[in-house]
Amino acid sequence: MTKSLELREVCVHLGGNPIVNAVSFGLHQGAIGCLLGASGCGKTTLLRAVAGFEPLTGGEISLRGAVVSDPRGMLAIEKRRVGMVFQDHSLFPHLTVSQNIGFGLEGWAKSASVKRIEEIASLLEIDDYLFEYPHRMSGGQQQRVAIARAMAPRPDVLLLDEPFSSLDVELREQLAREIRTVLKTEGITAVLVSHNQFEAFAMADEVGVLKEGRLLQWDSPFNLYHTPASLEVADFVGEGVLIKGVVRNDHVVETELGQIDTREIEDFRLPGTERISLLLRPDDVFHDDESLVKAKIVDKAFRGAVFLYTLELESGTRILSLAPSHHDHGIGEPMGIRLDIEHLVAFPSN
Amino acid sequence: MRISNPSGESAKIIGKSHRALSSKASLWSVCVWLLCLVIALPIIVIFASIFFPSEDVWQHLIDTVLGIYISNSLLLMTGVSIGVLSVGILPAWLVTFYRFPGRSILEWALLMPLAIPAYIIAYTYTGLLDVAGPLQSLLRESFDIRYGDYWFPEVRSLLGAIVMLSLVFYPYVYLLARAAFLEQSASALEAARSLGCSPFKAFTQVGLPLARPAIVVGLSIALMETLADYGTVQYFGIPTFTTGIYRTFNGLGSSVGATQLAALLMVFVLSLLLLEGYSRRKSAVFEAVYRRPASRERLRGGRLVLCYFVCVAPVVFGFVIPFGQLAAWALLTFENIFNASFFQLSLNSLILAFLTAFFALMLALFVTYAKRLFGGFLNETAIKILSLGYAIPGVVIGLGVLIPFAWLDNEISTFTLKNFNFNMGLILSGSIFILIFAYLVRFLPIAINSVDSGLAKIKPSMDEAGRSMGRTPLTMLRRIHIPILRGSLLTAVLLVFVDVLKELPATLLLRPFNFNTLAVRTYELANEERLAEAAVPALTIVLVSIIPVILLSKSMAKSNYRNDEIIRA
């Protein structure tokens, strides 16, 4: 099946500096992808290259199987059928919400255009504001208008540049989930750019982690979290610590927290060295008063239903543990812990 | 549809659109540069004359008038510098850092003299202070003395010209000094005060040095206007470059001599331009990173009286008195003046001003939008060249326009006479076409400046949003930029409109035979010593010229409002 969007070895230079380096990924019709990375990693530049604002210095970008950008040229953005949602909304201040949404519908029959505006506005729950001007609306509502405006002409691909960064933290994830539902309803392929992993996980089917212009991993949020392909990805996605381990035989790894039988863990692969590092997530370490393994509590953070404890082992290694918040222990106290690992990643250690 | 592989049909599409884009960019660039060449033509003509020196002309100029032109221009510049600095800086300081009743009114009232063209204030004060004027008559009656028995300052002198020009040009210094003071971080001044400086010492040791580059920018603009002035020095009989150029060309009929003088004047102008550019760069360095405007201190007692004197006197002498005198004369004479011929010349002025403003707006939109679409060094350089005109005196532009157009007319006539046995006459240089062209050279920078700063406020993502929805750049200009820019476009039109209305020297030089404007008629009546009658056209010009001052004071109020908001936050 032809992919809706396909990038092959895409390179972009800005002012002579390499910003995006040999990035490849693809999205099927209706899939939502997210480019995740710290600021300056090249994710926005990559998105702008897909939109047709930045020329490529290498590789190619195809939309619905047709090449639209390569180092020799690019199809003008107005001919690409991509929608773009900007970080700062960029609504036209002199047009009403309805006129803003209808801006891309020129050439449509009047009745079809009115119907489409009403349809998309009701999907995004802004149908009460159709005749207001953007400046009278809250930031969240403005962002809904911006998304409605970009989606109205039914683009092949919708591109969203940090669409929620100007909103309150509580609003972000809620709106991200809502937008995901709307995109799924309309069956629009979308690429989101974000530096916030929770936003990415709430919205995307597939997430790519970018660092210094390189794509480190392109995978589902679940796999990114549980089976990161490299230390860098593990470090960027989610919380966790690395503990040292020594491989005793083909299935036993010895750690400070006891022996781990890797046969019990699905899809586990040893990296092939004797000394390894294991990525331990807070949800792998359980509180167990009966356990013989004890660790000292050095810090704790209340998170409502759970505490996130920072624990120190005898060797000085620190690990994280999530415990139900009714297990309230004080800082400095010892706490019994037990490993219960479903997913584990090992990296070679030096 | 193919999957990828950059060859075949879709690759062709790319190649075509890519070429289309770059060829469009180069087409726009070529147009911008053509415009640039046309607009810069008068400057090129003047400078080219340096390379065709005629020794007799130079020798003659040096022997006769050159020395006096240079010394008068230098004296005038020195005098006006002292004048505008001493009148302009202190009020700016006072209205920025002190509180007193009427402060907010004075803040904009201090700009009012900008509405009075220099030649009009010169006519007015001459009428007021001359031998036959009301002041000297009153003096003679009250003391029962006759002319010659008492000493009275002569208005029509170099000193008089310095005072007149200072009175109407000080607002440039005031405006830039005020902006610089507002931008200064309050903490720098408060630190100076806490270290034991008196308010006056804080002003001289901290405030003034920080604002110096901005003040020099204001001073160089005032001096460019001084060099460009024709009406005042002509009326006062002071031989300077502008009167010299006009006399050499019109009176002696020597275009070579006139262009040589103009080229020399341009050397003065260019050095002022360099000074201005250098100071602008420097004042950008001094801009405070952290800005919190100072809280305004209340003034009382003797200081308050002194403050009122410093702030009110420039407004009274620069606007209230001349305006009142013009109004009084206009009341006396309007019956004789308000007739068909007055309406004809108002209409002439209106048509010229409107046409120029319209073309200036179109061209300004074109070049600034080209810069926005394609950016690049070439387009930016073109805009810099197009912006030179504002510094160049009207006489010089008039001359620089007339020479090539007269030549072109001559060629056209010869051609049509030879081939069609028909004389075209002076189709270019004898029509208002040449006038509008000269105005465009001088005032296009004003339009470009306001449109460009308006466009800069529209975020680039706005353009990208429109284009991602399938809109072409021209549709975006029509549907998004122009509606959002309405305010800036109106400002551009108004500013050019008013400047054309006020313009005197280029109009005098280039107007078609028997074609009069308000400014030219004012000049003619004044030179026939019919000052009271000159008041009606003069007052019309002044009243219209108040519009841009109102615009300016509005934008000043806005910047104040922003600062007040910062204080509240």
| CA distance between the termini of chain A | 43
Instruction: Give the residue from A103, A159, A165 with the most B CB atoms within 10 Å of its CB, the best one to mutate.
Output: A103
Write the single-letter amino acid at B191.
Answer: A
Q: Do A60 and B19 touch (CB under 8 A)?
A: no
The pLDDT assigned to B338 comes to 75
Reduced to 3 states (helix: H, G, I; strand: E, B; else coil), residue A322 is strand
Whether A154 has its CB under 8 Å from any CB of chain B: the answer is no
Which range has the worst mean pLDDT, A305-314, B163-172, B467-476, B557-566? B557-566
Residues B290 and B342 in one domain: no
Query: Is B471 in CB contact (< 8 Å) with chain A?
Result: yes
pTM to 2 decimal places = 0.78
B140 falls within a domain: yes
- The dihedral formed by the CA atoms of B35, B39, B42 and B46, expressed in degrees to the nearest 10: -80
Task: Compute the distance between CA of residue A315 and CA of residue A239 in angstroms, rounded to an integer.
Answer: 21
Task: Please report the residues numbered 267 through 326 in chain A whose beta carbons come closer than 8 angstroms to any beta carbon of chain B.
Answer: none
**Chosen from A60, A67, A101, A157 to mutate, greatest number of chain B CBs within 10 A:** A67
State whether B260 and B363 are in the same domain. no
* A6/B2 Cβ within 8 A: no
Q: Which residues contact A142 (CB under 8 A, 6 or more apart)?
A: A89, A91, A134
Which pLDDT does position B118 carry in this prediction? Answer: 93
Please tell me whether residues B498 and B373 are part of one structural domain: yes
Euclidean distance between CA atoms B365 and B449, whole angstroms: 10
Q: Is residue B10 part of a domain?
A: no
Question: A298-312, B113-127, B478-492 — which one is most confidently predicted on average?
Answer: B113-127
Mean pLDDT of chain A: 87
Residue B261 has pLDDT above 80, yes or no: yes
Are B502 and B424 found together in one domain? yes
Least CB-CB distance to A74: which of B3, B18, B471? B18
Residue-wise pLDDT for A45-68, tens only, equals: 999 999 888 889 999 999 988 999
Say if B554 falls within a structural domain: no
Q: What pLDDT sits at residue B298?
A: 82
Whether B457 has its CB under 8 Å from any CB of chain A: the answer is: no
Query: What residues of A are in contact with residue B458 (Cβ under 8 Å)?
Result: none
Q: Taking residues A17-25, what's their average pLDDT?
A: 92
Lowest mean pLDDT among B47-56, B106-115, B488-497: B47-56
- In terms of domains, do B404 and B304 share one? no
Give the per-residue pLDDT at B62: 80
* B469 contacts A78? CB cut-off 8 A: yes
* Residue of A8, A91, A92, A151 for testing the chain B interface, max B β-carbons within 10 Å: A92
Nearest CA in chain A to B476: A103
B115 with B239, same domain?
yes
Same domain, B253 and B354: no
Among A90-99, B162-171, B333-342, the least confident range: B333-342
Which one is predicted more confidently, B56 or A159? A159
Q: Tell me the mean pLDDT in the region B402-406.
A: 88
Q: Mark which of B331, B354, B380 sits at the end of a domain.
A: B331
pLDDT of residue B567: 30
Alpha-helical runs (H) found in B144-240:
158-183, 186-194, 199-202, 208-228, 231-236
Query: Do residue B464 and residue A51 have CB atoms under 8 angstroms apart?
Result: yes
Banded model confidence at residue B286, pLDDT cuts 50, 70, 90: low
- Give the pLDDT confidence score for residue B23 in this predicted structure: 65
CA distances, B379 to each of A103, A123, B455, B518 (Å): 30, 45, 15, 37
Beta-sheet strand order (sheet of A73-74): A17-27, A5-14, A58-63, A66-70, A73-74
Lowest mean pLDDT among B2-6, B30-34, B232-236: B2-6
pLDDT at res. B20: 45
Taking residues B145-161, report their average pLDDT. 84
In the prediction, which pLDDT does B292 show? Answer: 56
Would you say residue B71 lies in a domain?
yes
What would the pLDDT profile of B64-82 be if each residue is shown by its tens digit?
A: 888 899 999 999 999 999 9
Task: Select from B13, B20, B465 the Cβ nearest to the Cβ of A86.
Answer: B465
Rounded to a whole number of angstroms, the CA Rg of chain A reads: 24
Confidence of residue B394 (pLDDT cuts 50, 70, 90): very high
Q: Which of B50, B39, B45, B49 is nearest to B385 (CA)?
A: B39
Q: Are residues B123 and B257 in the same domain?
A: yes
Q: Is B468 on the interface with A (CB under 8 A)?
A: yes
The whole-number average pLDDT for the span B19-43 is: 79
pLDDT average, residue stretch A18-24: 93
The percentage of chain B sitting over the pLDDT mark of 90, rounded to a whole number, equals 33
Say yes or no: A1 contacts chain B, CB-CB below 8 A: no
Task: Kindly state whether A202 is in contact with chain B, defined as any CB-CB distance less than 8 angstroms.
Answer: no
* Residue burial A154-181, b: 16+ Cβ < 10 Å; e: rest: ebebbbbbbbbeebeeeebbebbebbbe
Q: Measured between CB atoms, does B466 come within 8 Å of chain A?
A: yes
Interface touch A70/B14, C-beta < 8 Å: yes
Long-range contacts from B52-59, C-beta under 8 angstroms, 24+ separation: B52/B256, B53/B260, B54/B256, B54/B260, B57/B254, B57/B256, B57/B257, B57/B260, B58/B260
In which domain, by residue range, is B346 found?
Answer: 338-527
- The pLDDT of B256-265, averaged and rounded, is 86
Query: In which band, very low, low, confident or very high, does the pLDDT at B505 lie, cut at 50, 70 and 90?
Result: very high
Q: Domain boundary at B331, B353, B375, which?
A: B331
Nearest to A66 among B1, B480, B483 (CB): B1
Overall number of domains in chain B: 2
Residue B552 lies in a domain: no
Instruction: Spell out which residues of chain B touch residue A8, defining contact as CB-CB under 8 Å.
Output: 4
Confirm whether B117 is domain-assigned. yes
Number of Cβ within 10 Å of residue B195's Cβ equals 11
pLDDT at A329 over 90: no
Going by pLDDT thresholds of 50, 70 and 90, the confidence category of residue A131 is: very high
Task: State how far residue B21 is from chain A, nearest Cα, in angstroms.
Answer: 8
Is there a contact between A88 and B459 if contact means CB atoms under 8 Å apart?
yes
CB nearest A104 (choices: B13, B18, B470):
B470
Out of B97-111, B350-364, B485-499, B550-564, least confident range: B550-564
Burial of B231 (0-12, 13-18, 19+ CB in 10 A): buried
More confident residue, B150 or A131: A131
Query: B196 or B207: whose pLDDT is higher?
Result: B207
Q: pLDDT for B290-327, tens place per residue?
A: 455 566 778 888 889 999 999 999 999 999 999 999 99
Nearest to A90 among B5, B18, B459 (CB): B459
Q: Same domain, yes or no, for B256 and B273?
A: yes
Quote the pLDDT of residue B7.
35
The 10 Å CB-count burial string (b at 16+, else e) for B98-127 is bebeebeebbbbbbbbbbbbbbbbbbbbbb
- Candidates B547, B65, B118, B212; CA nearest to B353 is B547
Domain boundary among B331, B359, B377: B331
B459 touches chain A (CB under 8 A): yes
B302 shares its domain with B438 = no
Q: Tell me the two tokens of residue A53.
A: 């604002």
**Both structure tokens of A285:** 């370490």
Question: CA nearest A8 in B: which residue?
Answer: B4
- The minimal CB distance from A67 to the residues B4, B468, B471 is found for B4
Burial A191-216 (b: 16+ CB within 10 A, else e): bbbbbbbebbbbbbbbbbbbbebbbb
> The domain spanning residue B211 has which CATH number?
1.10.3720.10
Answer yes or no: is B485 within a domain: yes
User: Which of the two residues, B182 and B230, has the higher pLDDT score?
Assistant: B230
Residue of B nearest to A101 (CA): B469
Question: At B43, which amino acid appears?
Answer: I
pLDDT at B326: 93
From A70-84, A211-225, B34-48, B411-425, the region with the lowest mean pLDDT: B411-425
Residue A112 has a CB neighbour count (10 Å cut-off) of 10
Measure the CA–CA gap between B4 and A6, rounded to whole angstroms.
Answer: 9
Cα separations in angstroms, A196 against A34, A71, A177, A190, B248: 10, 31, 14, 17, 74
Q: Is the pLDDT of residue B13 over 50?
A: no
- CB atoms A103 and B466 under 8 Å: yes
Average pLDDT over residues B393-401: 91
Whether the per-residue pLDDT at A291 is higher than 70: the answer is yes
Yes or no, beta carbons of B11 and A70 under 8 Å apart: yes
Q: B417 and B279 in one domain?
A: no
Contact residues on chain A for B21, CB-CB shorter than 8 A: 76
| Mean predicted confidence (pLDDT) in A17-32 | 93
Is residue B522 included in any domain, yes or no? yes
Asked if A67 lies within 8 A of B484 by C-beta distance, the reply is: no
Asked if pLDDT for residue B187 goes beyond 70, the answer is no
Q: Are residues B216 and B310 in the same domain?
A: yes
pLDDT band at residue A350 using 50, 70 and 90 as cut-offs: low
Average pLDDT, chain B: 83
CA distance B254 to B557: 50
User: Is the CB of A76 less than 8 angstroms away from the CB of B17?
Assistant: yes
User: Between residues 269 and 328 of chain B, which touch chain A (CB distance below 8 Å)?
Assistant: none
